[in-house]
Structure 1
Amino acid sequence: MLKSTGGQPAPPALTSLRGVHDWKEAVAWLRARGIEDVECITPDLAGVPRGKMMPSSKFTSNTSLALPSALYRHTISGEYPDETASFRYEPRDSDLKLVPDLSTLSVVPWETDPTAQVICDVVGIGGDNVPYTPRAVLKNIVDLYHERGWKPVVAPEIEFYLVAKNDDPDYPLHPPKGRSGRAILGGQGYSIAGINEFDELIDDIYHFSEKQGLEIDTLIHEEGPAQLEINLRHGDPIELADQVFLFKRTIREAALKHGIYATFMAKPMQGQAGSAMHIHQSVVDIETGRNVFSNEDGSPSSEFFHFIGGMQTYVPKALVMMAPYVNSYRRLTPDMAAPVNNAWGYDNRTTAFRVPVSDAGARRVENRLPSSDANPYLALAASLACGLLGIMNKVEPGPPTEHSANEGSIELPRGLLEAVSALEAEPALAEVLGPEFIGLYAGVKRGEFETFMQVISPWEREFLLLNV
């Protein structure tokens, strides 16, 4: 236990694994742990941590932290798309200011020197809101719920693959060898032996998470070879998005410590299941704590059905925020353990929107469409926005599906460009997400598609080289 200078137990703020209330507590928290450096990070549009690192003394000295606005206008490969009518660069590429959210302060457990990290919001130099940054987009959607006296509650489930190191992108990825000395095969869903193959790595994931104050609910082996899933405890959307943001970084670092990669690509290996980020969602009345999806007698409420109606109507149009890359749509194909529909059903995993078995207090809707490559802030914002639009517009859902929902035609955008166009064409989404964000996001996604089109795939060389 940390002790104060007088030998008495330290105040609760100093013993906190995650977060302090103010700068005075931050100074004491950093000093008590001998922290030398602080990483000030924020997610870009892809969910990649961006920011600055500095000595802890500078961090606590009211230093102004700035990043260029162009940070939110480049593609995943670091390129800058051409301007269009709705995608524009800031003429002066002026600075944006990082504002540390001290409630996210935690150690960086994999660093050899004592290091802390803090997630930052982004504002203009004058303190004005920057509505297109991922954390701001999600906060705006949460505020729309608060205006109605409600609080959204979410629980993400994140799937990922462990893969052998691969320094040549021209070669396919392969599962790593576990403690048995052999590469693990597929078909290991819920296998304890599959988890035990990577015991030491998983121990490090738990250890790193505990040091950061991150709570893992459960960990399982999924269907793919060396494919794992981590479930997080339900809570506030912003806090959970922060946790997913940090978990991705944590899992990658733990894997690298053991000489392998952890990847959140939606479809890293041909012929294997893709990786999802399922999102469980409910809505609570702030004043009473009652689940808005249930009436007082325990029956499902009109808001519950309208939320589902909103998911069915708007999620296909917001899909690019939950499936953001060309690779994402390789996961959303028939017979690959992912929904290719906008159906809903009770305890039906073939539907896009599943209602798990629960009591009235835990009634919720699971969105099974998002992939694990999605920026968690944007995926949560899009999913919650679609449900809220359904409630606002009293959208009635179709009937629940009792059988397999994947046997008909595909009811979703089939590729990145189609999904981008669907987002741009829906005025209701522009109303809640903001036209500036949609224009910027769509411009980046179109730029990424054009970069992808410059790459010649093995399929093309295999079947077109000598046959056409």
Structure 2
Amino acid sequence: MTTHKEPPAAGANEKCDDDDLQLAIQSLRGVPGWTEASAWLQARGIEDIECITPDLAGVTRGKMMPSSKFTSNTALSLPSSLFRQTISGEYPDETGEFRYDPNDGDLKLRPDLSTLCVVPWESDPTAQIICDIVDTTGEPVRYTPRNVLKRVVQAYSDDGFRPVVAPEIEFYLVAQNIDPDDPLKPPKGRSGRPIQGGQSYSIAGINEFDDLVDDIYHFSEAQGLEIDTLIHEEGPAQMEINLRHGDPLELADQVFLFKRTIREAAMKHGIYATFMAKPMEGLPGSAMHIHQSVVDSETGANIFTAENGEPSPLFFHYVGGMQRYVPRALVTMAPYVNSYRRLAPDMACPLNNKWGYDNRTTAFRVPASEPQARRVENRLPSSDANPYLALASSLAAGLLGIRNEIEPDEPTQESVNEGAIELPRSLLDAVALFEGEGDFREVLGREFITNYCGVKRGEFETFMQVISPWEREYLLLNV
């Protein structure tokens, strides 16, 4: 499992023997130091390097430079306002505690050398590296996504625990959509016909896009990204990629890069890949299910399982925390107006706050497993969520459950996806719940919560300026 230590300044004196250097050069993903980084870039003839970081939406931001400058202690900066920008590129008005830096000062990009890898779809030899965001004194900027997740992982470590996660990401392939006023349509596969829905786990459905899937695998392998499984989901040309379990920061990095990889592979074949939560009317939305477990930092034992193999008290407290806190953090897992269209009846999505053993109608499912692999699956996040923030808040919910010894309600074996919806029904409702939960401030950080909610309110106001076809159809001549 990769550890994410802060790298030394570029150009620092480092020593490594020839064997270690050769191993580093052969690595597909990540190097231990700057000496190895220089050798790694030179061995591949890398001309350019992309220094990237996720913004609040999970969009790739950063700078590109010649590789020679990257290894020569060049300072990399971004304006602080970049992390107060909405998905539409606007800057919300200041309200409440949401404020801008009056100077819009610089924030620094600090490369994490464990993430160095190639950009396989570029024609010129290009590498990429994920960066943390620090201020001019070198301190982590608390409201940036990667640092928020690091803060939560550190909170686990402070309590003697280590979280383990495994995300599952759903997405649609769609025909190119030039005019955003036009509804999205399924793409044509190798048969020349648009693929139809109702093909869960269909191998033929995947085979319709064999060449594209091959590119996804090849691009992923070149970056050192490991896909566990790929399946066809219920919707037409809806796919799901499952990742192997591991360290939350490493898995968030992988989701961040996978999204980019899948989009690029699809674009190469003249179609789009979208991670919108609800891209097409009348069809299932796309989720990012998160499997979560916790191990003891010293022994490596799963704390969800007692010595006799039964669920432990900590397991039940963790589930209780998920039930109490996840609905209050839903805005980090369903971050847009469109996200709440997925949370609708009869769309194979949990609308409740229940838990159960191997029950896919519940928000929190405990899959059937051996005692040492006992885990909880959070089925509420949508695939449009920033993976760093969805993982951070979902893990924070469980940790708060342990710390506060919260008891869950009884597990259910019934189908519980009918009746009243037990979750926030709109973006603003979710924002208010998130802001109102004081326990989040210690684990996630007040600066992040204030900043995030200010941006979400700004996005809602932008959405409200758009008149929808529904309004023109039913209101134009009737009211």
Shorter-chain TM-score: which interval? over 0.9
Residue 324 (structure 1) aligns with: 335
Deviation at 1:149, TM superposition (A): 1.4
**Residue 77 (str. 1) matches residue 88 (str. 2):** yes
The separation in 2 between residues aligned to 1:10 and 1:68, in whole angstroms, is 36
CA contact (8 A) 2:21 2:36 kept: no
Deviation at 1:85, TM superposition (A): 1.9
The size of the alignment, in residue pairs, is: 462
The separation in 1 between residues aligned to 2:21 and 2:136, in whole angstroms, is 37
Matching residue's letter, 1:122: I
Residue 198 (structure 1) aligns with: 209
Residue 243 (structure 2) aligns with: 232
The separation in 2 between residues aligned to 1:150 and 1:85, in whole angstroms, is 36
Matching residue's letter, 1:13: A
The separation in 1 between residues aligned to 2:256 and 2:232, in whole angstroms, is 21
Q: Secondary structure at the match of 1:249?
A: helix
**Residue 395 (str. 1) matches residue 406 (str. 2):** yes
Matching residue's letter, 2:146: R
The separation in 2 between residues aligned to 1:333 and 1:86, in whole angstroms, is 32
The structure 2 residue matched to 1:416, chosen from 427, 430, 435, is: 427
The separation in 2 between residues aligned to 1:140 and 1:112, in whole angstroms, is 37
The separation in 2 between residues aligned to 1:31 and 1:79, in whole angstroms, is 40
The separation in 2 between residues aligned to 1:183 and 1:430, in whole angstroms, is 48
The separation in 2 between residues aligned to 1:146 and 1:405, in whole angstroms, is 35
Residue 438 (structure 2) aligns with: 427
Deviation at 1:8, TM superposition (A): 9.6
The separation in 2 between residues aligned to 1:178 and 1:10, in whole angstroms, is 45
| CA distances 1:147-176 after superposition (whole Å, capped 9, x unpaired) | 111100000000000000011010100000
The separation in 2 between residues aligned to 1:459 and 1:352, in whole angstroms, is 30
The structure 2 residue matched to 1:95, chosen from 101, 106, 115, is: 106
| CA distances 1:404-431 after superposition (whole Å, capped 9, x unpaired) | 1112210000010000000011101122
Residue 19 (structure 1) aligns with: 30
Residue 112 (structure 1) aligns with: 123
Q: Secondary structure at the match of 1:284?
A: strand
Residue 186 (structure 1) aligns with: 197
Residue 215 (structure 1) aligns with: 226
| CA distances 1:441-467 after superposition (whole Å, capped 9, x unpaired) | 000000000000000101011111111
Residue 79 (structure 2) aligns with: 68
State the TM-score, normalized to the length of structure 1. 0.98
Matching residue's letter, 2:421: I
The structure 1 residue matched to 2:173, chosen from 162, 172, 175, is: 162
The structure 2 residue matched to 1:286, chosen from 275, 282, 297, is: 297
| CA distances 1:130-189 after superposition (whole Å, capped 9, x unpaired) | 100000000000001001111000000000000000110101000000000000000010
The structure 2 residue matched to 1:250, chosen from 261, 267, 274, is: 261
5+ unaligned residues in a row in structure 2: which ranges?
Answer: 1-17
The separation in 1 between residues aligned to 2:95 and 2:446, in whole angstroms, is 14
The separation in 1 between residues aligned to 2:440 and 2:155, in whole angstroms, is 13
The separation in 2 between residues aligned to 1:297 and 1:332, in whole angstroms, is 38
Provide the aligned C-alpha RMSD in A.
1.0
Residue identity over aligned pairs, in percent, reads 76
Matching residue's letter, 1:201: L
The separation in 2 between residues aligned to 1:133 and 1:159, in whole angstroms, is 25
State the TM-score, normalized to the length of structure 2. 0.96
5+ unaligned residues in a row in structure 1: which ranges?
Answer: 1-6
Deviation at 1:436, TM superposition (A): 1.0
Matching residue's letter, 1:463: Y
Distance 1:271 1:30, change over 3 A: same
Residue 303 (structure 1) aligns with: 314
The structure 2 residue matched to 1:270, chosen from 270, 275, 281, is: 281
The separation in 1 between residues aligned to 2:262 and 2:181, in whole angstroms, is 24
Matching residue's letter, 1:413: P
- Any runs of at least 4 consecutive aligned residues in structure 1 with deviations exceeding 3 A, and if so which? 7-10
Matching residue's letter, 2:289: H
Residue 4 (structure 1) aligns with: none
| CA distances 1:362-421 after superposition (whole Å, capped 9, x unpaired) | 000000000000000000000000000000000000000111111221000001000000
Q: Secondary structure at the match of 1:142?
A: helix
